[in-house]
Amino acid sequence: MLSVNWFEGLKMVDLGQGISAPFCAKLFADLGATVIKVEPPEGDYSRTLGPFPNDVPDLEASGTFLGVNTNKSGLVLDIKTDTGKQILLDLVKSSDVVVESFVPGYLDDLGMGFDSLSKENPMLIMTSVSPYGQSGPWAKYEASNLIISNLSGHSMEHPGPVDDLAKQPPLQLGAHQAEFLGGICAATATALALNRRSVHGKGCHVDVSQVESLALLPQTPLAAYAIGAPGKQRSKSSAGKASLLAVLPCKDGYVGISPRQQDQWERMVEIMGAPEWAGDDRFATEQGRLDHWDNLEALLISWTSTMYKEDVYRLCQSTRIPSFPLNTAADLFDSAQFNARAFFVDVDHPVAGTLKYPGWPFHLASGDRVSMDRAPMLGEHNQDFIQ
Mean pLDDT of 119-140: 97
Task: Count structural domains, the chain.
Answer: 2
Could you tell me which of 59, 46, 5 has the C-alpha nearest to residue 377?
A: 59
**196 part of a folded domain:** yes
Confidence band of 155 (pLDDT split at 50, 70, 90): confident
| Helices and strands counted in the chain (H then E) | 17, 11
What are the beta bridge partners of residue 209?
130
Buried b (16+ CB within 10 A) or exposed e, 178-201: bbbbbbebbbebbbebbeebeeee
The string of pLDDT tens digits covering residues 208-218 is: 999 999 998 87
Task: Give the CATH number of the domain where residue 40 resides.
Answer: 3.40.50.10540
Mean pLDDT of the region 379-386: 93
Rounded CA separation 246/13 (Å): 48
Same domain membership, residue 84 and residue 50: yes
For residue 23, give Cα distances in angstroms to 65, 66, 80: 10, 11, 24
**Average pLDDT value for residue range 61-67:** 97
Question: Confidence class of residue 146 from pLDDT cuts 50, 70 and 90?
Answer: confident
54 and 133, same structural domain? yes
Does 245 lie in the same domain as 202? no
Distance CA 36, CA 72 (A): 6
Same domain as 181, residue 68:
yes
Cis peptide before 104 (omega within 30 of 0): no
pLDDT at position 343 is 95
- Same domain membership, residue 348 and residue 307: no
- Choose the weakest-confidence range: 123-127, 242-246, 249-253, 340-344: 242-246
Domain that holds residue 166: 11-217+343-385
Neighbour count for residue 33 (Cβ, 10 Å): 22
Residues 260 and 243: beta-carbon distance below 8 Å? yes
Q: What's the chain's average pLDDT? A: 91
Encode pLDDT of 177-211 as tens digits. Answer: 899 999 999 999 999 999 999 999 999 999 999 99
- Last residue of a domain, which of 328, 355, 377? 328
Rank 66-80, 174-188, 352-366 by mean pLDDT and report only the highest: 66-80
Q: Assign 263 to helix, strand or coil.
A: helix
Cα 165 from Cα 198, distance rounded (Å):
53
**273 and 145 co-located in one domain:** no
* pLDDT, average across residues 346-370: 92
> Taking a C-beta distance cutoff of 8 angstroms, is the pair 248, 254 a contact?
yes
Q: How confident is the model at residue 161 (pLDDT cuts 50, 70, 90)?
A: low
What value does the CA radius of gyration of the chain take, rounded to a whole number of Å? 25
Could you tell me which residues come within 8 angstroms of residue 331 by beta carbon, excluding any fewer than 6 positions away? 253, 325
277-335 tens-digit pLDDT: 999 999 999 999 989 988 999 999 999 999 999 999 999 999 999 999 999 999 999 99
Q: pLDDT digit string (tens) for 243-260?
A: 678 899 999 999 999 998
* Distance, CA of 196 to chain centre: 26
| 363 vs 223, more confident | 363
Whether 52 and 178 map to the same domain: the answer is: yes
Q: For the residues 46-74, what does the mean pLDDT come to?
A: 96
* CB 35 within 8 Å of CB 8: no
347 near 355, Cβ under 8 Å? yes
* Statement: residue 241 has pLDDT above 60: no
Instruction: Tell whether 229 is covered by a domain.
Output: no
pLDDT band at 231 (very low <50, low <70, confident <90, very high): low
Amino acid at 379: G
Tell me what percent of the residues of the chain surpass a pLDDT of 90. 76
Quick check: 240 pLDDT over 50?
Answer: no
